[in-house]
Amino acid sequence: MGNSAQGNFVRRTAFIILALMGISCAVPAYAVDPLYETKLIRLAEVLGSIHSLRNICGENSSQWRDRMDALLLAENPDPVRKARLIASFNRGYRTFNETYSTCTSQAIAAIDRYEQEGTKLSSEIVSGYGN
């Protein structure tokens, strides 16, 4: 995967976290999930998948888990929502951790696909629900 694609995904992920921080500050807290919840749940799963795949392929970093932590901090979800988001991240992580034991061309292709999907989800959340 090219550095510019990864850089774009990293910038978009950082942007969504900042946008979510703005949304969570602007909207009063209710026990109702936000309209973007489905996309956010999927984004958490994508982050878990990328975290697993990139570590299998030698990254040895916590940057994707750190991004998930930042997303949780920005959202400040109630305990039930937080558990759903974490479960989604963990599901994404486990799926690929159980599938690949070494880095393969398929794993690298999956990283590219998931980073593209994460970029798309981030953009959709920000454009549809950001301030």
Judge contact between 84 and 33, C-beta under 8 A: no
pLDDT at res. 54: 95
* pLDDT tens across the length of the chain (131 residues): 555 666 666 666 665 665 555 544 444 444 566 788 999 999 999 999 999 999 999 998 999 999 999 999 988 999 999 999 999 999 999 998 898 999 999 999 999 999 999 999 989 988 887 65
DSSP letter assigned to residue 57: T
Euclidean distance between CA atoms 78 and 80, whole angstroms: 6
Euclidean distance between CA atoms 101 and 96, whole angstroms: 9
Domain of 44?
A: 3-28+35-129
pTM score, two decimals? 0.75
Quote the number of domains for the chain: 1
Short-list 35, 58, 52, CA closest to 94: 52
